[in-house]
Amino acid sequence: MADSSPATKLAGLDVRLERDVFLRAMLRELAGTLQDVVGLDEASGFISVVGQRIGDELNASYREALGVPSLSREQVADVLVDLKHRINGDFSIVEQDDERIVFSNTRCPFGDKVIDRPALCMMTSNVFGSITADNLGYARVVLEETIAEGANGCRVVVHLTTAREPQPAGREYFRG
């Protein structure tokens, strides 16, 4: 006797739904709702808080795994690339020196769900900024280009020293 339960009948349908897609869609709609209701700046602020907390957790995890009390600049750069790769981003280091680390990205961890949701980019800014500042003392993260705003990729610059002149672009982070 064939099983004709609703679950069996529906299991074969071509519905693109699984946990990762569902969670990314949920975050997209949450960010979009925040952007629409409170504006982009306020939405970015709310998402920044989440990014800060996740950054703190990831920083502690990497330090523990590496067995170090603090990460060097090179380790910070490598950790930031590694964590993005682990969540299906495609970040790479373009250049780095004592004043800045420049990253390129060709694939957002949020996939196409990031399109028109620049508030979600605060996750990158805050995770990068909090990890960098906690280990190196200071960070100013500038999102020069983002997939969310229609670019083919992202260009993220993490400045490691305070500017001699006021810099309007980016968000500053300090050791906590």
Q: What are the boundaries of each domain within the chain?
A: 17-174
Q: Are 148 and 121 in contact (CB under 8 A)?
A: yes
Tally of CB atoms within 10 A around 1: 3
- The structure tokens listed for 97 are 């020196």
CATH superfamily of 17-174: Trafficking protein particle complex subunit 3 (3.30.1380.20)
Task: Please list, residue by residue across 50-83, b when 16 or more beta carbons sit within 10 angstroms of its beta carbon and e when fewer do.
Answer: ebbebbbebbeebbeeeeeeebebebbbbbbbeb
For residue 103, list its beta bridge partners.
93, 156
Cα gap 112→24, rounded to integer Å:
9
- pLDDT tens for the chain, residues 1 to 176: 556 677 777 888 888 888 998 999 999 999 999 999 999 999 888 998 998 999 999 999 999 999 999 999 999 999 999 999 999 999 999 999 999 999 999 999 999 999 999 999 999 999 999 999 999 999 999 999 999 999 999 999 999 998 777 676 899 999 97
* Residue matched to tokens 């250049």: 95
